[in-house]
Structure 1
Amino acid sequence: MNKILVFQTAFLGDLILTSPLIKSVKRSFPGFQVHLVVRKGFEGVFEDFWAVDRVISFDKKGFWRFSKQLRNENYSLAVSPHRSHRTSLILFLSGIPRRIGYDRAGFSFLYTDKVKHEFKKGLHEVERLLGLLEPLERDFSLVYDREVEIPLTISTYERTLSKFSLKEGEYAVIAPGSVWPTKAWLPEYYAEVGNYLLKKGLKVVIVGSKSDEVYCSRVFELMGGRGINLCSKTSLKEFFSLIKGAKLLVSNDSSPVHVASAFNTPVVEVYGATVPDFGFFPYGRGKFVELKGLKCRPCGLHGGKKCPEGHFKCMVDLKPEKVIEVVEELLNC
């Protein structure tokens, strides 16, 4: 049986933005099975997805055993958006005859085909990922599908909204957390935006993972408990459902932005340590807000644990009024 492997064990947002690449592979090779390797814990993201025949989880342990597992599958092609040394070596050891990856990946010399990885103004990550298929254009007629997509059943969506006593379009979602502290806007600023949304007649739902609880709890507290704090209280599918049904999402440069893109939910993305030129700006109905003119931005591709300059101006000086102005603009669209 002909099989193709897509290897993406990065964070949730990165995985979601890989959906157009996965769909393009499936549409281009309809007679092939498409298998997807994901980080352990993200198996449910593409469960029952029409473009994926099998999801394989990898916990980044058992390096040699996992390589052997892939070798036994007899894949004819591997496409890797993930740029780690580990990924390049695993795919090489798996014996897959054709392996496509980025030229800036660790051990990139182990790929049979290398694609230039670059950051360009206006280039979204979705388009950068689809560029991984360019080496195949010489031999095949490819079909590109550029829409971000997350599988979500109507029953799961409706059940989620009913569970939390919400109605579509009558609430806004705030996602104040981040894996990287320098990408997180101040909780007191998020609380001001939340209070503004309440005045506009919307319920305010605060979401995040368990690691975001400090941020979410603080925002909820500063809002006087008038929001609905669902941080770490939802499954992945419930988290997706909440964003799908929202009138608007306000989030840091993090995975909720890309979930919103999948459901065409308007989003305001707040930038601090990172910049839109990295390619993770809203892919659809959204706008971003940033403090321009700071020479220290960006201070890293992913942000960091603390501001290298010690002043955190990129977030401290980005006042709620500026974000509220953009929120108002999207609400009136």
Structure 2
Amino acid sequence: MKILVINIKYLGDLIVSSPSIRSLRKTYPDSEIVLLLRKGFEPVFSNNPYINRIITFNPELKGNSSIKKIIDGLKFIIELRKERFDTVIVLHPGDRTAFWAWFTGAKKRIAPLKQSFSFLFNNKISVEENSMSYLEYYNKIISGADVKIDSDRTEIFVSENDKKWTDEFLNNNNISADNILIGIHPGASEPSKIWNTENFVQLIKKLLAIHEVRIILFEGPQDKIVCNEMNNKLEGEKNVYFVIADILKVAALIKKCKLFISNDTGTRHLAVAVQTPVLALIPEDYEKCWNFYSEINNHFTIFGKRNFSQSDLSVKPFLDGINVETVYERVGKLLKLW
């Protein structure tokens, strides 16, 4: 049997869907399992032993009316049709993905029930985004293929080259196993999920006062402004390192950290997947959908509130209600510093 799984969302969603992919493989050990992912996110599954290969979708094709892009889009659909998939599982609603699934000609097409073109599927799962945890959401959709979920454990697989790069980075910066290495990701996909950069700077300075602490600040594609601001405020501070790297190198480096501190962003899920303890700063309205890890998994949460200024529209939204001392004390307890 030949199975196509479509998920063109981003880093966090892809990692959260990893238990469903693993369980699919265990249910169909002899099938060819192919993933269709957004271009640029192949590394999330590039070393995954539970899939056979990856097809990528170029998002630049979306919404572009030029003749070339239309032709390229048609070619993409034709190539999918040539694959002759037996089953297509779409892990989220979407007009484009619904048509892809239908055009493949697969006899079995599985997807969430609530979407505009649900009639294009013949196995519709009664789940709805934002009504449950996304871990449960993905697991329920994949279960539509008669799959039994083996566990909720997320995972990502780094290569030996990524591990070697990490070791070289640590050696070049004189960071040893005796140091207390803390990873921090100060950005997020939207401003209302970002703890104030001044808070992060204060926290980092307090942590650096502790003997043997080293800080790695991870900068993602959307974090340039935030990280530049922090870099300026931390100028002259020793033992702080800014890192821009690809997904698997980031995963390998996070695995070396004693603790990872993050807003609600994809790297939080990355840290859980490599089994590094996490302290997450999350908006309280995200609790139902995105707070599905537990302290058993070494995932700890501090909830804040999204601040949308009504009086001054020039003020960007931010994550409020979490003070520096609260985070500092929690870090100390988790690392057993006092």
Check whether TM > 0.5. Answer: yes
* Residue 69 of structure 1 pairs with residue 94 of structure 2: no
**SS at the partner of 1:251?**
strand
- Residue 159 of structure 2 corresponds to which residue in structure 1? 153
- Residue 67 of structure 2 corresponds to which residue in structure 1? none
Q: Is the 8 A contact 2:143 2:149 kept in 1?
A: no
Give how far 1:8 is off: 0.8
- Residue 238 of structure 1 corresponds to which residue in structure 2? 249
Give how far 1:73 is off: 0.7
Give how far 1:220 is off: 2.8
Structure with higher Rg: it is: 2
- Residue 66 of structure 2 corresponds to which residue in structure 1? none
What are the ranges of 5 or more consecutive residues in structure 2 without an aligned counterpart? 62-71
Task: Report Cα offsets for 1:89-141 as digits up to 9, x if no partner.
Answer: 211122121111112344223221122224689x542222111133333xxx7
Distance 2:5 2:299 in 1: 28
* Residue 128 of structure 1 pairs with residue 105 of structure 2: no
Give how far 1:190 is off: 0.9
* Residue 289 of structure 1 pairs with residue 302 of structure 2: yes
- Residue 179 of structure 1 corresponds to which residue in structure 2? 189
Distance 1:316 1:146 in 2: 31
Q: 1:59 to 1:329 in 2, by over 3 A?
A: same
Q: 1:250 aligns with which of 261, 275, 283?
A: 261
The residue identity in structure 2 corresponding to 1:150 is: I
Q: 1:148 to 1:31 in 2, by over 3 A?
A: same
Distance 1:320 1:313 in 2: 18
- Residue 228 of structure 1 corresponds to which residue in structure 2? 240
**SS at the partner of 1:136?**
coil
Q: 1:43 to 1:307 in 2, by over 3 A?
A: farther
Q: 1:275 aligns with which of 278, 286, 291?
A: 286
Q: Is the 8 A contact 1:250 1:269 kept in 2?
A: yes
Give how far 1:176 is off: 0.6
Q: 1:48 to 1:275 in 2, by over 3 A?
A: closer
Query: Percent identical across equivalent pairs?
Result: 25
Q: Is the 8 A contact 1:63 1:90 kept in 2?
A: no
The residue identity in structure 1 corresponding to 2:158 is: L
Distance 1:308 1:277 in 2: 26
**SS at the partner of 2:262?**
strand
- Residue 318 of structure 1 corresponds to which residue in structure 2? 322
Distance 1:329 1:128 in 2: 33
Distance 1:178 1:134 in 2: 31
* Residue 189 of structure 1 pairs with residue 195 of structure 2: no
Q: 1:214 to 1:65 in 2, by over 3 A?
A: same
Q: 1:290 to 1:313 in 2, by over 3 A?
A: farther
* Residue 329 of structure 1 pairs with residue 333 of structure 2: yes
Distance 2:220 2:277 in 1: 21
- Residue 22 of structure 1 corresponds to which residue in structure 2? 21
The residue identity in structure 2 corresponding to 1:127 is: E
The residue identity in structure 2 corresponding to 1:197 is: L
**Structure with more of its chain in strand, by fraction:** 2
What is the 5 A alignment of 1:298-309?
Answer: none
Distance 2:265 2:162 in 1: 24
Give how far 1:171 is off: 0.9
Task: Report Cα offsets for 1:275-314 as digits up to 9, x if no partner.
Answer: 22123554621111113xx6xx6x9xxxxxx767857786
- Residue 69 of structure 2 corresponds to which residue in structure 1? none
* Residue 112 of structure 1 pairs with residue 112 of structure 2: no
Give how far 1:5 is off: 0.8
**SS at the partner of 1:290?**
strand
The residue identity in structure 1 corresponding to 2:240 is: I
Q: 1:95 aligns with which of 97, 100, 105?
A: 105
Give how far 1:332 is off: 2.3
**SS at the partner of 2:301?**
strand
How large is the RMSD of aligned CA atoms in angstroms? 2.6
- Residue 80 of structure 1 corresponds to which residue in structure 2? 90
- Residue 277 of structure 2 corresponds to which residue in structure 1? 266
TM score, norm. by length of structure 2: 0.84
Give how far 1:264 is off: 1.1
Q: 1:68 to 1:162 in 2, by over 3 A?
A: same
Distance 1:320 1:195 in 2: 11
Q: Is the 8 A contact 1:172 1:205 kept in 2?
A: yes
Q: 1:106 to 1:161 in 2, by over 3 A?
A: farther
TM score, norm. by length of structure 1: 0.85
**SS at the partner of 1:72?**
helix
